[in-house]
Amino acid sequence: MKWHQATWDEPLIFEYKGKNRVGLKIPIEEELRKQVKINLPINLRRKDIDLPELSELEVIRHFIRLSQMSFGVDNGMVPLGSCTMKYNPKIEEEADNLTQNLHPLQDESTVQGILEVIYDMQRWLAEITGMELCSLQVPAGAAGELAGVLMIKKYHEIKGRKNRDEMLVADTAHGTNPASASMENFKVIYIKSNNEGLVDIDVLKEIVSERTAGFMLTNPNTLGLFEENILDIAKYIHSVDAKLYYDGANLNGILGIVRPGDMGFDIVHLNLHKTFAVPHGGGGPGAGAICAKGEMVDYLPYPLVEKKNGKYSLTYIPKYTIGKIATYYGNIGNVVRAYIYILGLGAEGISLVGKMSTLATNYLISKLKDVKGLDLIAPNRPRKHEVVFSAKTLAKETGVTANDIAKALLDRGFYAPTIYFPPNVEEALMIEPTETEPKEVLDSFAEAVRDIINLAYTNPNEVLSSPKNTAVRRLDQVIANHPSSVTPTYRVKRLREEGKIGSLK
């Protein structure tokens, strides 16, 4: 199938020339018309706002075409590493609709159902992660990290320690880890990976001291590799009573197989968007969870739902709580979506996620690892949920970079992988296929990558001029970094300036 997206070349709704067309004519009785006549002062009335007059068909075509200029997991594979762009079952939306009439200030006796959902999720997610309790207050992964960092900070404060000012972070960590730590004035110390892509234990041993507050780590790490020395890492961190923090944004690779709690972690954050199939939603709200075990449970954000005599209430305030991380009780619609996802999978389905996402990644590796120009750290180590290739050799030999491969993939009907992350891999292409992509799609993705790389060696200019079939062609990277540059708002503004559409004044 040839891939073709709708483009900007066709007119926007503001540019339609039609007049005296209506979508739906609502009959109003003359009597009623008289009643609703409002006497607006002349100076407040808008003159000639030049709105388009359109038939229903034209409006439908406009919005359908806009939707076709976009790309999402509902129309193709989105192999963005560290993002877990799995399919979001549509039944989640039906369930979320049930929450639309709730208000957070309603009396508890009238919202027992949603409180039960939160209560179950506090415990289910704890069971999945090997923790004791989870709070669903946090509206995103990074907010979960900030909550975790605050909990670690308060823990040392309560113990009367003044000098715990160092937060250790793996050098492959997501940028939000050092950002969260430095927001609380911790000195961020990067722990280098060894040449197998794992935490260098010897480096760690030297750095851990009475100043270490905690270690923020993710396992499998950002290269998709399992930190096999995790129990030793936990031992070193705990030897100075520092806390081990698990960045569980992408839990896919171990879901239902191993649990951070059993690896020695004290605090875990989860992204319900990503692992628990909540849509990432173009800049819209996400949802997280922050989970703890042992003494750290006392520091969780409040309020938590508790159950007494068969009634649910928001009365549980942990002893040393860090307070609230957001308003009310979290992004409840997304909590419900994740709840439905977990219910739908059941215990058996959950452990299949870990197995199938790992299988998908290693299947892709088997299809790509002998491709000329692509390199892989520790090629014989199996990956979990994702894999990072380096296109450094390809770039040197052909001038075609990871960025160019990404653009050429767009032309072939795939979203691009994450590129240039993690920062310790040059020309990184970070691919996360997830468990929901069918084998045939993995095959054609691998085929597309091979095709692009062959072309790089035979006709590099062909790759460098991609994408050609997308709504937006190759952008000026500098201008494109300004978010307003490619949006309809910007285009409308320009059209107004050029006098092609009316002004609202």
- State the number of binding residues for ligand PLP (CB under 6 A): 12
Binding of ligand PLP by 250 (CB under 6 A): yes
Residue 471 to residue 502: CA distance in whole angstroms: 25
- Give least dist CB 453 to ligand PLP, A: 27
- Our measurement of the distance from residue 163's CA atom to the centroid of its chain's CA atoms, rounded to an integer in Å, reads 34
Query: Both tokens of residue 368?
Result: 């790509």
* Residue nearest to ligand PLP as judged by C-beta position: 141
Residues 494, 497, 501, 503, Cα dihedral to 10°: 120
- Give least dist CB 183 to ligand PLP, A: 13
Q: Which is nearer to ligand PLP, 179 or 486 (CB)?
A: 179
Stretch that binds ligand PLP, among 193-201, 225-233, 246-254, 322-330 (CB under 6 A): 246-254
Q: Which is nearer to ligand PLP, 13 or 173 (CB)?
A: 173
Binding of ligand PLP by 221 (CB under 6 A): no
Tracing tokens 């059941």 back to the chain, one arrives at: 346
Q: Which of 128, 140, 152, 374 binds ligand PLP (CB under 6 A)?
A: 140
Binding of ligand PLP by 357 (CB under 6 A): no
Q: Which of 252, 271, 436, 470 binds ligand PLP (CB under 6 A)?
A: 271
Residue 200 to residue 274: CA distance in whole angstroms: 28
Residue 417 to residue 406: CA distance in whole angstroms: 7
Q: Which is nearer to ligand PLP, 18 or 284 (CB)?
A: 284
Query: Both tokens of residue 44?
Result: 């407040």
Helices (H), 320-469: 332-368, 392-398, 402-411, 439-458, 460-464
Q: Which is nearer to ligand PLP, 138 or 395 (CB)?
A: 138
Binding of ligand PLP by 220 (CB under 6 A): no
Mask for 190-219, x = binds ligand PLP (CB under 6 A): ----------------------------x-
Binding of ligand PLP by 247 (CB under 6 A): yes
Residue 489 to residue 483: CA distance in whole angstroms: 11
- Give least dist CB 17 to ligand PLP, A: 43
Stretch that binds ligand PLP, among 52-60, 139-147, 255-263, 402-410 (CB under 6 A): 139-147
Residue 474 to residue 482: CA distance in whole angstroms: 15
**Dihedrals phi, psi of 475, to nearest 5 degrees:** -100, 155
Q: Which residues are CB-contacts of 449 (< 8 A; sequence separation ≥ 6)?
A: 368, 371, 374, 405, 409
Contact (CB, 8 A) for 146 and 267:
no
Binding of ligand PLP by 249 (CB under 6 A): yes
Could you say which residues in the range 170-189 bind ligand PLP, by CB under 6 A? Answer: 174, 176
Stretch that binds ligand PLP, among 137-145, 318-326, 355-363, 375-383 (CB under 6 A): 137-145
Scored b (16 or more CB within 10 A) or e, 108-125 reads eeebeebbebbbbbbebb
Query: Both tokens of residue 126?
Result: 């704890």
Q: Which is nearer to ligand PLP, 166 or 386 (CB)?
A: 386
Binding site for ligand PLP (CB under 6 A): 82, 140-142, 174, 176, 218, 247, 249-250, 271, 286
